[in-house]
Structure 1
Amino acid sequence: MQVKNNEIEQVKSVCRQQIQGMLSKNIGLLSMIISHDADFVHITGKHQSKDDWLDQIKSGRMEYFSAKEELLEVTLSNKTAHVVMRNLLEARIYGFRNTWPIEAQTELVKINDVWRIVRSKADMY
């Protein structure tokens, strides 16, 4: 049971690091915790690669100002994790600034003993 709890805390840490990386525009951190072939699905349904998403953050087309975590649930299955995370996310996306209630369904895989984000789908809740 201790091992499972430790794994859950590691997964939560990666998810929280993603939020912190978004807020601080820490592209190095985001690059480290996100798999090179990750798929991001925005609330519009648009799919975006890791590189495209990071380029949007670098250019300021997607700018994140604050996040208030309301939920963070982790389900483990061997070397995969499914996370449901809800945040009130203040951001300017393509020129529109708002605070959105965002639920991310995020998938992580443990690669060489390190959890990496491989997919994240955002919806409003």
Structure 2
Amino acid sequence: MKMDSIEDDKSQVLDVTRQLTQLMIDKNTAAMNKILDANFTLTHITGYVQPKEEWFSEIESERMKYYSYKEVKITVKIDGDKAIFVGQNLLDARIWGTRNNWRLQQTMQLEKRNGKWIILKSVATTF
């Protein structure tokens, strides 16, 4: 695999993961749905594994409200049509009534399908 295509893939993965965070802030679950796998799950810092539809309803009802984020550190590893994204953000969000600047690390697994990167799952921890 040529270095160019790996760099292209890395920048596409960065684009789609940043897009997801922005769409969370915009409360745009319809657009989020286009870049998330049908069986996408979000594992919260509590360890709770949340199905996509449930997460979407919490965003829409603002039980989970995202305000802004600041990137701290990001890494992307590409392996063929699979990718692992690790992003550390300071995320300003209100989750189930508690607003905080969360030091959130998200580890996302992605897969390239028909030339587009799809997010399969995301696991959140603190850093």
Q: Same fold (TM over 0.5)?
A: yes
Aligned twin of 2:61:
59
Correspondent of 2:73 among 71, 74, 80: 71
Secondary structure class of the residue paired with 2:8: helix
> TM-score with structure 2 length normalisation?
0.96
Q: Distance in 2 between matches of 1:29 and 1:15?
A: 13
The alignment covers a number of residue pairs equal to: 125
> Matched residues, percent identical?
37
| 1:23 Cα offset (Å) | 0.8
The one-letter code of the counterpart of 1:35 is: D
Aligned twin of 2:11:
9
Q: Distance in 2 between matches of 1:100 and 1:8?
A: 25
Secondary structure class of the residue paired with 1:60: coil
Please list every run of at least 4 consecutive aligned residues from structure 1 whose deviation after the TM superposition is greater than 4 angstroms. none
Correspondent of 1:44 among 34, 46, 59: 46
The one-letter code of the counterpart of 1:82 is: I
- Greater shift, 21-30 or 40-49, is seen at 21-30
Task: Tell me the alpha carbon deviations over residues 51-79 of structure 1, each in whole angstroms, 9 at most, x when there is no partner.
Answer: 11111100111000110011111000111
| 1:112 Cα offset (Å) | 1.6
Please, which runs of 5 or more residues in structure 2 have no aligned partner?
none
Please, which runs of 5 or more residues in structure 1 have no aligned partner?
none
Correspondent of 2:90 among 88, 91, 107: 88
Task: Tell me the alpha carbon deviations over residues 15-43 of structure 1, each in whole angstroms, 9 at most, x when there is no partner.
Answer: 00011001111112211111110111000
Correspondent of 2:124 among 89, 110, 122: 122
> TM-score with structure 1 length normalisation?
0.97
RMSD: 0.7
The one-letter code of the counterpart of 2:16 is: V
